[in-house]
Amino acid sequence: MKGLFKKILVLTLILSVLLSVAACGGATNNLSKTNNGNQEDSSNAANSKNDSSDVDSTSTEKVTFHIYKNGGFPDYPADGGEGKQDVLNALAAYGLPNVDYKVTAIGGDEYYDKLNILAVSGSLPDYMNIDMVTMTNFSDQGLIIPLEDHLENMPAAKDRMRQVDLDAWTYNGHLYAFPVAYLEGAINGPNTTGLIVRADWLEKLDIDIPETIDEFYEMLKAFKEQDPDGNGQDDTFGYIGRDTTLFEDVFGAFGIQPTFWMETEEGLRLGSTLPATKEALAVLQQWYAEGLIDPDIFTNDQSLQDQKLANSKGGVYEGSGFSASVSNPEYAALLNVVPTAKLKGIPAFKGPKGESGRQEAPPGYGNSHAISANCQDVDLLVKFLNWCADDGENGGMYLCSVGVEGKHFELSEDGTKINQFVPYNEIYAYGLGNPIRFQQVVDRRWMEDSAVECFEAFDGMYRENKFWGTTPSMLDYPDTCEELFREYLAKIVMGSLPVDAWDDYVKDFYAMGGDKIEQEVNEAYQALNK
Ligand SMILES: [Ca+2]
């Protein structure tokens, strides 16, 4: 089984499909996963004026699409709920009177177990959430169909999809899943992570938002030494984090993203093998020695990090734009202890040569869907999906994300804000929202101003990974691209190894398959960019 799995993976790679579990360059995955939470499963809504008088009841018979969603929605009614009539009315007014649907929602790993059982019995649903491994597997078996020719029939979604995501879902030269689409604007992009600071500490200590690495250092020092929490004890650090922390902004200030493939005169090189990495390591080692970094940073998990934040142990950490929303659990826990606390996102600071930045999110962001070879009317299904993404007249974008306008939400007059009246579970119980979001359009107009400001502060600071794929040698040497660096990072920063040990790291990297990996990456990159 393991061999088969690997074979599938290798095939995938060779064919330049991008795996979400890519060995190199996937460092931000965990962060975005843990931080997006439920809020990400929400969007907005505007035009759901349903006029059932428009329905052409004489048209053809109903086609019911069976749709599988990967998500636990215990409140969603099995019969589709009251909201289903809103959907059917809107579809009829949109010119699709014969569309009907039945949703089966299953959360967690159980979802893919179920899909695999259905695959074996030849009874896959018409349309389903899919991940990369399942996509390659089902495609090899002819269980799902190529979609590239259907894209032009769903302009409401297609025009908002990213090419990099479409490439990520292309396998053997064919598109096998529709990725999410994005509304315009800084708040709606795939990148969500950045540095979050205790803005109340900045105010208290009269510190401006740091723009350079020197100013950032001064801020860390003040957080450590000037008793920002005012309890009279020397009990705070500057930087807190967890075992996945890569200090992206610090490396970024030296022009490096350690786990990204970067362009050099000799071709693509993994950032961690470039000399500027050593400079950043020296800075981090000094900060750690001065007590500016939580000494447990390399072993904390998310909950320990959150506890330290809530207990005012640190003033800056790598989080997501959602962190600055008071409804976010980590912020709420902090406010519970310190009601006057303020969290704020800051742009990446600049290094000695004016460089800055952090890692862009990997392509192929979740909530992608495939169409089964069993589907009897693909053209109609695609029209239905276009309706789901359409925020124009009688379109379904809002019904499929935030419900009925006036009942569940309202749009601000200028259309830039979504004000929600009810919690998501009520929208699901009514039969709308995430359970029927068959084609997602990322729309974060529901976010509070504080979170919006955070996303705006982060805008423009994400750096590109030149190669997101996985090559065969990355699978032969699974620890070489990231784990090896993380080991050296922790040891050097904590001072158990000298900064010069970075030279050994580079030797180890090349000795542990890095030479083959680097060669394959460059070959694949050249092939992709011909
Ligand atoms: Ca203190």
- Report the run of H or E that residue 195 belongs to, with start and end: strand 193-198
Cα 34 to ligand 1 centre (Å): 29
CA of 225 to the centre of ligand 1 (A): 8
120: domain range? 41-189+365-445
pLDDT of residue 245: 96
Q: Which of 6-20, 83-97, 211-225, 279-293 has the lowest mean pLDDT?
A: 6-20
Q: What whole-number distance in Å separates Cα of residue 50 and Cα of residue 94?
A: 9
DSSP annotation of 201: H
Tokens of 47: 């035009």
CB 447 within 8 A of CB 40: no
Residues 52, 181, single domain; the answer is yes
Whether 116 and 233 share a structural domain? no
Residue 298 CA, ligand 1 centroid: distance in Å? 23
**How many angstroms is it from 197 CA to the middle of ligand 1?**
16
For 22-48, write each residue's pLDDT tens digit: 344 433 333 333 333 334 443 333 333
The 10s digit of each residue's pLDDT in 383-392 is 999 999 999 9
Instruction: Give 63-83 pLDDT, tens digit per residue.
Output: 999 999 999 999 999 999 999
pLDDT in tens, 510-530: 999 999 999 999 999 998 777
Residue 479 Cα, ligand 1 centroid: separation in angstroms?
39
Torsion of CA 470, 471, 472, 474, to 10 degrees: -70
How many domains does the chain contain in total? Answer: 2
CA–CA distance, 427 with 429 (Å, rounded to integer): 5
45 and 174 within one domain: yes
281-293 tens-digit pLDDT: 999 999 999 999 9
Q: How confident is the model at residue 470 (pLDDT cuts 50, 70, 90)?
A: confident
Report how far ligand 1's centroid is from the alpha carbon of 351 (Å).
Answer: 29
**pLDDT at 332 > cutoff 90:** yes
234 CA to centre of ligand 1 in angstroms: 5
Q: Does the residue 412 lie in any domain? A: yes
Question: For residue 186, what pLDDT is reported?
Answer: 84
pLDDT of residue 59: 53
Expressed in angstroms, the distance from the first to the final Cα of the chain is 36
* pLDDT of 278 strictly over 80: yes
Do residue 437 and residue 321 come from a single domain?
A: no
Domain assignment of residue 430, yes or no? yes
| Nearest-10 Cα torsion for 338, 341, 343, 348 | -110
Torsion sign (Cα): 291, 219, 335, 333 = negative
C-alpha dist (Å) from residue 169 to 99, 259, 370, 397, 469: 27, 22, 10, 23, 12
Check which CATH number belongs to the domain holding 208 and give it: 3.40.190.10
**pLDDT reading at 434 higher than 60:** yes
Tell whether 176 and 237 lie within a shared domain.
Answer: no
pLDDT attached to residue 9: 44
Could you tell me the pLDDT band of residue 49, with boundaries at 50, 70 and 90?
very low
Task: Share the mean pLDDT of the chain.
Answer: 89
Asked if residue 32 is part of any domain, the answer here is: no
pLDDT of 329 reads: 87
- Residue with the larger pLDDT of the pair 22 and 216: 216
Minimal CA–CA distance to 408: which of 80, 77, 44?
Answer: 44
Based on the fold, state whether residues 293 and 392 are members of the same structural domain.
no
Going from the Cα of 367 to the center of ligand 1, the distance in angstroms, rounded, reads: 44
223 and 181 inside one domain: no
CA of 319 from ligand 1 middle (Å) equals 23
Kindly give the distance from the C-alpha atom of residue 346 to the centroid of ligand 1, in angstroms, as a whole number: 23
Structure confidence at residue 228 as a pLDDT band (50, 70, 90):
very high
- Alpha helix (H) residue ranges in 172-212: 199-204
What does the alpha-carbon distance between residue 153 and residue 441 come to, in Å, rounded to a whole number?
16
Residue 21 clears pLDDT 90, i.e. is over it: no
What pLDDT score does 328 carry? Answer: 86
- Are 345 and 220 contained in the same domain? yes
Name the residue type at position 529: N
List CB contacts of 74: < 8 A, sequence separation 6 or more.
none
Q: Token digits for 248?
A: 């992206």
In a domain, 21, yes or no: no
Pairing of strands 99-106, 316-320: unpaired
Same domain, 162 and 221: no
Residue 452 lies in a domain: no
Its pTM surpasses 0.85: no
| Residue 65 within any structural domain of the chain | yes
CB atoms within 10 A of CB 10: 16
The CA 72 to ligand 1 mean position distance, Å, reads 42
Phi, psi dihedrals of residue 154, rounded to the nearest 5°: -130, 60
Specify the range with the lowest mean pLDDT, choosing from 48-62, 66-80, 416-430: 48-62
Strand, helix or coil for residue 123: coil
337 alpha carbon – ligand 1 mean position (Å):
14
Do 492 and 523 lie in a common domain? Answer: yes
- pLDDT over 80 at 54, yes or no: no
In a domain, 184, yes or no: yes
How does residue 16 score in pLDDT terms, banded at 50, 70 and 90?
very low
pLDDT digits (tens, 9 = 90+) for 162-209: 998 998 899 888 999 999 999 998 899 999 999 999 999 999 999 999
Question: In the predicted model, is pLDDT for residue 449 greater than 60?
Answer: yes
Enter the tokens of residue 528: 């992709």
**Residue 523 vs residues 14, 404, 475, 518: alpha-carbon distances, Å:** 11, 51, 17, 9
- CA distances 439 to 154, 282, 366, 388, 499, Å, are 10, 47, 11, 6, 49
Cα 198 to ligand 1 centroid, rounded to whole Å = 14
The angle that helices 302-310 and 329-337 make with each other, rounded to 10 degrees, is 30
**Percent of the chain clearing pLDDT 70 (strictly above):** 88
Distance of CA 347 from the midpoint of ligand 1 (Å):
26
Decide if 515 contacts 507 (C-beta within 8 A). Answer: no
